[in-house]
Amino acid sequence: MGKCKICNKAAERIVSFGKMPIANGFLNRIPSDEFFYNLSVAFCPECFMVQLDETVKPDMLFNADYQFISSTSDAMAGHFEKISAEILEKISGKSNPFVIELGCNDGIMLRHIAARGVKHLGIEPSGNVASLARNNGVKVLESFFNEPVASQIVRDYGQADVICGSNVFCHIENINSVFKGIGILLKNDGVLFFEDPYLLSIIKKSAFDQIYDEHIYYFSGLSVSKLARKHDMQLVDMHPQDVHGGSMRYYLKNSLSNTANNKVGEFLSEEKALNLDRLHGYSTFKDNVDKICSDLRNTLSDIKRKGNRIVAYGATSKSTTLLNYAKIGPEIIDYICDITPNKINKYTPGMHIPIKSHEAFVKDTVLYALLLAWNHKKEILEKEKEYRRKGGKFITYFPEVVIE
Ligand code: TYD
């Protein structure tokens, strides 16, 4: 078993999903050979961090061909606008405040800060999305973030009042270097906040599709509080978020002058009640996951046996884990529809299901759609009223398989 990436103590295996392709590695053509790695997660009994055992080199994931574009959902656009409003409130009254976002993607959040003329910087390693951010009026440093980069930013621009990141901290293996960099870059009275898929939601729903190459860490209040203390910071607040199927936003400040509010204590108690600070808390996870996969395969086979076609909705990264682990391929799913232009006409990693445009779905008479973008269910059900009016059904699977 491997060592914990944070404290270097021996980590304990929770579950292995076997060989997996790159989750966001949508393919132009079906290849004769494809890259696979071993997908498994482990728990560190010392710092309570749940993490991938084996990681994929970051430049294989976050490069000029990065296919995740933040601005593909109205709900997400609204979510990021709210974050920007919260930041503007936090910095109001400060003289010449400075806001930094790690992993700014296409500028979905920072463009609102930029539009107010506030000093800001987005740090983004993926060239294609960094260009989109620049087109949105955002100042971008095209780079990964670490200690030396933090020092360079302080030299070039000064220290920050706010540092934030959405769905990015869990992507960075050397999180200790990120926190050391934040120690250099954040003003003494500054605030760091970040949000990522919440371990407690994953465990409660058995939402194992959140587990894939880009998500190296599965944070909880318990692990973030330990990580903060290791770096002389304190977890002072936690706000649950609906996005990405259940995320948590963590607020951290300099430990010398701050105390945690009651909500942190409440979340930590709930996590402890589920034993997320012990390997025992994860003992039923694999059985729950396996039951969902077999129920889903049986449901899909049943639908096919009755002579129906099935498509899927939303070529998400997370669906790579589901489709490959449950072995759901083109013999079951005709195609996946998606609105992201650079995913259309490609094939899914590993299972090689073709991806088509949303227009193809609208023209289709199909009556069953596997909702792979289940985290956008509310928005998609609202959008697809006509499909449902004509008898079309969506199939969801967390925490159990439902046809509705
Ligand atoms: P996302 O929520 O970012 O999940 P992941 O991080 O697992 O990739 O991906 C949502 C995908 O679903 C994205 O490819 C866009 C697509 N999508 C649609 O095709 N139609 C929609 O209405 C919505 C909301 C998303």
pLDDT band (50, 70, 90) for residue 184: very high
DSSP conformation class of 300: H
Atom of ligand 1 minimally distant from the CA of 343: 14
Atom of ligand 1 minimally distant from the CA of 376: 24
The CA angle 206-237-149, to the nearest 5 degrees, is 90
Q: Residue 244: what pLDDT?
A: 86
For ligand 1, atom 24, name the residue with the nearest CA.
Answer: 73
Neighbour tally for 31: CB within 10 Å = 13
- The answer to whether the CB of 315 is under 6 A from ligand 1 is yes
Q: Residue 59: what pLDDT?
A: 76
Neighbour tally for 52: CB within 10 Å = 24
Q: Residue 259: what pLDDT?
A: 82
Report which residue type is found at 255. Answer: S
**What are the CB-based long-range contacts (under 8 Å, 24+) for 326-333?**
326/293, 326/296, 326/297, 327/297, 327/351, 328/296, 328/297, 328/300, 328/370, 329/353, 330/354, 332/300, 332/301, 332/304, 333/300, 333/370
Cα–Cα distance measured from residue 355 to residue 345, given in angstroms and rounded to the nearest whole number: 5
Atom of ligand 1 minimally distant from the CA of 167: 6
- The answer to whether the CB of 385 is under 6 A from ligand 1 is no
Q: Residue 15: what pLDDT?
A: 97
Percent of the chain at pLDDT above 70? Answer: 97
Atom of ligand 1 minimally distant from the CA of 24: 8
Cα–Cα distance measured from residue 253 to residue 225, given in angstroms and rounded to the nearest whole number: 11
Atom of ligand 1 minimally distant from the CA of 70: 3
Pocket test for ligand 1, best of 72, 213, 323 (most atoms within 8 A of CB): 72
Q: Residue 73: what pLDDT?
A: 79
For ligand 1, atom 3, name the residue with the nearest CA.
Answer: 316
Q: Residue 213: what pLDDT?
A: 96
Give the residue from 56, 69, 59 showing the smallest Cα distance to 22. Answer: 56
For ligand 1, atom 12, name the residue with the nearest CA.
Answer: 314
360 alpha carbon – ligand 1 mean position (Å): 16
Q: Residue 195: what pLDDT?
A: 98
252 bridge partner residues: 192, 235
Is pLDDT at 159 greater than 70 in this prediction? yes
349 alpha carbon – ligand 1 mean position (Å): 16
Atom of ligand 1 minimally distant from the CA of 319: 7
pLDDT band (50, 70, 90) for residue 72: low
- The answer to whether the CB of 340 is under 6 A from ligand 1 is yes
For ligand 1, atom 19, name the residue with the nearest CA.
Answer: 338
- The answer to whether the CB of 356 is under 6 A from ligand 1 is no
- The answer to whether the CB of 289 is under 6 A from ligand 1 is no
For residues 102 and 164, is the Cβ–Cβ distance under 8 A? yes
DSSP conformation class of 11: P
- The answer to whether the CB of 373 is under 6 A from ligand 1 is yes
Q: Residue 252: what pLDDT?
A: 97
pLDDT band (50, 70, 90) for residue 322: very high
Q: Residue 110: what pLDDT?
A: 98
- The answer to whether the CB of 323 is under 6 A from ligand 1 is no
295 three-state secondary structure: helix
- The answer to whether the CB of 383 is under 6 A from ligand 1 is yes
> Maximum Cα–Cα distance for the chain, whole Å?
67
Pocket test for ligand 1, best of 126, 336, 376, 385 (most atoms within 8 A of CB): 376
Helix axes 175-185, 221-230, angle to 10 degrees: 60
Atom of ligand 1 minimally distant from the CA of 337: 19
Q: Is the dihedral of CA 8, 226, 204, 81 positive or negative?
A: negative
pLDDT band (50, 70, 90) for residue 81: very high
* Tens-place pLDDT, residues 15-69: 999 999 999 999 999 998 999 999 999 999 999 999 999 999 877 776 666 666 6
Atom of ligand 1 minimally distant from the CA of 74: 24
Is pLDDT at 332 greater than 70 in this prediction? yes
- The answer to whether the CB of 338 is under 6 A from ligand 1 is yes
- The answer to whether the CB of 70 is under 6 A from ligand 1 is no
Q: Residue 260: what pLDDT?
A: 81
* Tens-place pLDDT, residues 338-381: 999 989 999 999 999 999 999 999 999 999 999 999 999 999 99
- The answer to whether the CB of 72 is under 6 A from ligand 1 is yes
Average pLDDT over residues 257-275: 92
* Tens-place pLDDT, residues 111-121: 999 999 999 99
Query: What mean pLDDT is reported for the chain?
Result: 95
- The answer to whether the CB of 316 is under 6 A from ligand 1 is yes
Helix axes 285-305, 318-325, angle to 10 degrees: 70
For residues 240 and 246, is the Cβ–Cβ distance under 8 A? yes
- The answer to whether the CB of 215 is under 6 A from ligand 1 is no
